[in-house]
Chains A and B, each alone.
Chain A
């Protein structure tokens, strides 16, 4: 690689609070691939999706503000959270095409000396890995490939849709998983939501959706699950523990964040990727590492 890619790292609020293992694994994986991640200064929660539901202008403004700060720094944003990614990407897309709202938002941002111009792109960390590093380079660093164990991917709605906004293809994540030596397990309801967004309004429904996904993954031969979003992770991992009580079902499907899997495959140990913080014990993945 000729030049070390530099990105604005936008954490949002959920990953730092709930998934320090995701954050740490991502940063270490980035270091291993000579990607420079710089924590953004003066930014916070994206408000997704609740703020978008009740206060569209505020949602536009707060995300436009994040984008405007990144524009000042001159680097693309990467984020590990589908919610943040969806929000930033949607606002970026919308404001680029809607001059009227852009003007309104910029009037507010002007007070802070900021302006949204649309000059940098918000991106998901895994998309940056896929596009800027590439599968070939990733494979070169895989020293402890997985043994073809079946992993089901939950992509997360806001990573994939609306496709004209997110511009993310599921194949990216499939190839990233395959690059670690694992096998991608196809299951019929791969598009289905994890249920996270509906929790505040109907908790049982949210849990039911998570359960249906886990059931479908397991039935189709998955031994592990990977996610790239803290909200989806919470639904599939933490909620899985409660299914024994609510549904009388046990799935024992460890849920790993993608950088944890890649980290292990390129030779990190379980502590470096914070495996003990996963709720469903994830240590069985270690038995599938070769070399």
Chain B
């Protein structure tokens, strides 16, 4: 069968699936909604379980090293992969094995192969922006809303003629044999969980927002700062199970939040100066090898409070007074903190329901569900339809990779 495989979403799972299909000689069309690959993992500074820096250094552009960087370079170098950035799936029709997929590819203002990231355009106009030195495709991005005269000048002076400000979106229809759903997750923005006052005060953030702050590539250069004024934050409180294990929001355990929080708590106490971290939890779920994160964070002085938050009150200086009920002590404790970090639920990404409806597949709590829940093939969603990674529900990186490989294996077997 010569038809390519469609992979929706270029996060950890989608990239793994595309690269390993391509390496096995199968053409893969990797469609990504955003302007860079990497998905949510791109915003992680370090990832468990290996604590690899998820921001690989500059040199990795040419020298594949760390797992993620390896995938990234393969995306460009592997001829069997067609990467479609800024692209949305509009419609899927046709029979299994010969799906017709209509998609819109966003305007290609910057030619990804011509751009050398020399930085000339960045000096000319604020409309150009480098997401990171390691971004993939290796190209700057252009924001048409910020276009100005400098942008036109940059278009003329670009040494490789990589800029086309008149680029238009392109609609196209492709035929594919199989579809891999790797659409990932979205971190709940817990504005409705009103006891935590998220969205009302700047120093109340989510774990993913914290990850962006402590990323060495952040505005603060990885220094832990308060969003309210950019000043160093010294006292941090985290609260677990925000919107997860909660029948009012998402009934499931989001699985990664405990380890995500412990990872951040350890980084903050071990790698930043004078930062004190308290974690309010109801259960700590560090299954299997992750127990060592829990022990390590206790050893590094992270304070664990078994209980729930009673009241969050802002103070004049943008710090927050937080009253916590400690159920082990049977007392209410008051803390004053710089940052209040919510370990918010992982929820299905936007558009998931539409995709599920279009493909006529099953759903579990809004995520994609296996065709046969009793079977071992959790990645088989339907006839010639597969899913991997957090499209199937909360998952950690190694699990997403394993599932992606399972999908590739299933497709290879079907073509024997």
Contact = CB atoms under 8 A, between A and B. Distances in A.
Interface string B309-335: 001110000000000000000000000
Q: Range of interface residues on chain B?
A: under 10
Contacts of A188: 311-313
A185 to B, nearest CB: 14
Interface in B193-241: none
Interface string B293-319: 000000000000000000111000000
A221 to B, nearest CB: 13
A interface secondary structure, majority: loop
Nearest to B195: A191
A45 interface: no
A188 B312 CA distance: 8
A189 interface: yes
Contacts of A189: 311
Nearest to A189: B311
A189 B323 CA distance: 12
Nearest to A170: B194
Interface in A249-279: none
Interface residues of A, number: 2
Contacts of B311: 188-189
Contacts of B313: 188
Interface in A184-214: 188-189
B42 to A, nearest CB: 36
A162 to B, nearest CB: 12
A189 B312 CA distance: 10
A58 B203 CA distance: 50
A188 B313 CA distance: 6
B interface secondary structure, majority: strand
Interface in A158-188: 188
A160 to B, nearest CB: 11
A188 B311 CA distance: 8
Nearest to B200: A186
A170 to B, nearest CB: 10
A189 B194 CA distance: 12
Nearest to A190: B194
Nearest to B311: A188
A208 to B, nearest CB: 16
A98 to B, nearest CB: 20
B361 to A, nearest CB: 31
Contacts of B312: 188
B321 to A, nearest CB: 9
A213 to B, nearest CB: 13
B403 to A, nearest CB: 37
Nearest to A163: B248
A189 B321 CA distance: 13
Nearest to A186: B200
Nearest to A216: B313
B229 to A, nearest CB: 22
Nearest to B321: A188
A259 to B, nearest CB: 28
A182 B312 CA distance: 26
Nearest to A192: B311
B203 to A, nearest CB: 15
A220 to B, nearest CB: 10
B164 to A, nearest CB: 47
Interface in B116-154: none
A73 to B, nearest CB: 36
B317 to A, nearest CB: 16
Nearest to B312: A188
A167 to B, nearest CB: 15
A96 B313 CA distance: 40
Nearest to B197: A188
A216 to B, nearest CB: 9
A150 B72 CA distance: 56
Nearest to A164: B248
A136 B137 CA distance: 51
Interface string B140-178: 000000000000000000000000000000000000000
A70 B3 CA distance: 68
Nearest to B194: A191
A120 B206 CA distance: 44
A209 to B, nearest CB: 14
A189 B313 CA distance: 9
A168 to B, nearest CB: 15
Interface string A231-257: 000000000000000000000000000
B125 to A, nearest CB: 41
Interface string A106-125: 00000000000000000000
A189 B311 CA distance: 8
B143 to A, nearest CB: 35
A188 B200 CA distance: 12
A8 B184 CA distance: 53
B319 to A, nearest CB: 14
B197 to A, nearest CB: 9
A184 to B, nearest CB: 14
Nearest to B314: A188
A189 B197 CA distance: 12
B204 to A, nearest CB: 13
B184 to A, nearest CB: 32
A163 to B, nearest CB: 9
Nearest to B313: A188
A269 B311 CA distance: 41
A188 B314 CA distance: 9
Nearest to A188: B313
Interface string A146-165: 00000000000000000000
A115 to B, nearest CB: 34
A35 B313 CA distance: 41
Interface in B57-84: none
Interface of B: 311-313
4 contacts: A188-B311, A188-B312, A188-B313, A189-B311
The 4 closest A-B pairs by CB, nearest first: A188-B313, A188-B311, A189-B311, A188-B312
